[in-house]
Structure 1
Amino acid sequence: MEQGNKDRSLVSKVMDGLVTGIVEEKYGAVLPPQDVLSKEFDVSRTVMREALSMLLAREMLDVRPKIGTRIRPMRDWRMIDEDVVSWRFRAKPDPVFLRDVIEFRALIEPRACAQAAARGTAAEIAGIREAFDLFRSSRPGESGYQGADELLHTRIVSASGNQFFQQMATIIRGALSAINPIVAGREGGWEAVIGTHGRVVEAIERRDPKEAEAASIAMIDFTAEEIRHALSIEPLGHT
């Protein structure tokens, strides 16, 4: 049992190292042979083979005859997998990726907010308020800021009662990790972020689904506009 746990830990460590190399473009388009990678990570070929198989299962790699293990484009990665989501958001966000992130949020979060207002239990809504109070007591750059924002959004999605929306919370948390440093860093960004989030929370507390949905759309529109200005790129709106 102890050896099995050790092997799993090694596999996880190797996977993490491989992903870091991939997102930092260390390997180019094709990974080195397994024996080379095994020496690089100082692990057995068995451990390396298992780590690679895990990435293959997540559609991050593709084995081609006479070519080797090719790294697939990030857009092909299995984003529904929590590990893949975390790894994908390590890479420097590009305009197309940010556009896709915002479009995804626009599809999920407004309806989740409306359903949280309509379906959320008293305890769930109290939890949303608690998370918001924690969020607004933090400032960008502080250790608890990102976690508080993620907790707030996660609790809203959970209160929606929709099991598919709940499964998407991982992607939403990843989206926040990519977007927050851009938006919160702009002048007046933090105050505006608190204001838009507060409008959502208050609508949920009033059990007003229409206002909760509208407030969420406004929050996402604000984010899209801030990113466009910060990066000087074409509009990233969801419509």
Structure 2
Amino acid sequence: MEQANKDRSLVSKVMDGLVTGIVEDKYGAVLPPQDVLSKDFDVSRTVMREALSMLLARHMLDVRPKIGTRIRPMRDWRMIDEEVVNWRFRAKPDQTFLRDVIEFRMLIEPRASAQAAARATPAEVASIRDAYNAFRALRPGDAGYVEADELLHTRILVASGNQFFQQMAAIIRGALSAAREVVDQKEGVWQTTVDTHARVVDAIERHDAKEAEAASRALIDFTADEICRMFEAERPMSG
């Protein structure tokens, strides 16, 4: 049992190292042979083979005869997998990716906010308010700020009562991390962000689905404007 846990830990460590090399473009288009990778990571071929198979299952790699193990484009990665989501957001964002992230948030979060306003139980509404209070008490860079931001959005998704929206929480958290790198650096943006979050939370408390949806869309629109201005990315159409 102890050896099995040790092997799983090694596999996870190797996977993480491989992904870091991939997103940092260390390997180019094709990974080195397994025996070379095993030596580089100082692990057995069995451990390396299992780590590679895990990345294959996540559509991150592709084995081709006479070519080897090819790294698939990031757009092919299985984003529904939380680990894949976290890995994908490590890579330097490109314009298309940023556009897709914003479009995804526009599709999911406003509707989830509306449904939370309509469906949330008193306990769920209270948990959303608690998460907001914790978020607004912190500033970017403070310990716990990132966790508070993510918890607020996650609780709204949970309160929507939609199991598919709830499964999207990992992607939303990743999208928040991409936005945070840009938005939190701007002077005066923090207060606007806090105020716009307050609109969403207030609407959910009043069970005003229409206002909750509009407030959530306004929050994402504001973030989208800042991101697209910074990266000169294509501005997605608002829903």
Find the counterpart in structure 1 of residue 203 from structure 2. 203
C-alpha contact (below 8 Å) 1:117/1:204 kept by paired residues: yes
| Conservation of the 8 A alpha-carbon contact between 1:60 and 1:76 | yes
The one-letter amino acid of 1:81's match is D
> Size of the alignment, in residue pairs?
239
Which residue of the partner structure matches residue 171 of structure 1?
A: 171
TM-score, length of structure 1 as denominator length: 0.98
CA distance in 2, matches of 1:221, 1:71: 34
- Which residue of structure 2 aligns with residue 182 of structure 1? 182
Q: Match of 2:33?
A: 33
- State the alpha-carbon separation in 1 of the partners of residues 164 and 231 from structure 2: 32
Q: Superposed, which structure 2 residues align to 1:69-84 within 5 Å?
A: 69-84=69-84
- Post-superposition CA distance 1:121-143 (Å, at most 9, x none): 10101000000011111111222
Corresponding residue of 1:156: 156
For structure 1, which runs of at least 5 residues remain unmatched after alignment?
none
**3-state SS of the aligned residue for 1:70?**
strand
- Read off the aligned partner of 2:201 and give its amino acid letter: V
Amino acid at match of 1:163: Q
d(CA) in 2 for partners of 1:87 and 1:73?
13
Which SS does the other structure have where 2:90 is aligned?
coil
Identity of aligned residues (%): 76
Maintained 8 Å contact 2:110/2:213:
yes
In structure 2, the partner of 1:117 is 117
Q: Is the 8 A contact 1:102 1:238 kept in 2?
A: no
Q: 2:58 corresponds to which residue?
A: 58
1:221 is matched with which residue? 221
Secondary structure in 1 matching 2:187: coil
Distance in structure 1 (CA, Å) of the matches to 2:236 and 2:147: 25
Q: CA RMSD in A?
A: 0.9
Equivalent-residue separation in structure 1 for 2:232 and 2:30 (angstroms): 33
1:88 aligns with 2:88: yes
Cα distance, 1:96 vs structure 2: 1.1
State the distance in 2 between where 1:95 and 1:129 align: 34
State the secondary structure of the residue aligned to 1:141: coil
Letter in 1 for 2:147: G
Per the TM alignment, residue 195 of structure 1 is displaced from its structure 2 partner at its CA by: 1.1
What is the TM-score of this pair, normalised by structure 2? 0.98
Which residue is 1:7 aligned to? 7
Question: Residues 79-105 of structure 1: CA distance to partner in whole angstroms, max 9, x if unpaired?
Answer: 000100010001111121111001001
Partner of 2:130: 130
The CA deviation string for residues 45-94 of structure 1, in whole angstroms up to 9 with x for no partner, is 00000000000000000000000000000000000001000100011111
- In structure 2, C-alpha distance between the alignment counterparts of 1:107 and 1:172, rounded to whole Å: 11
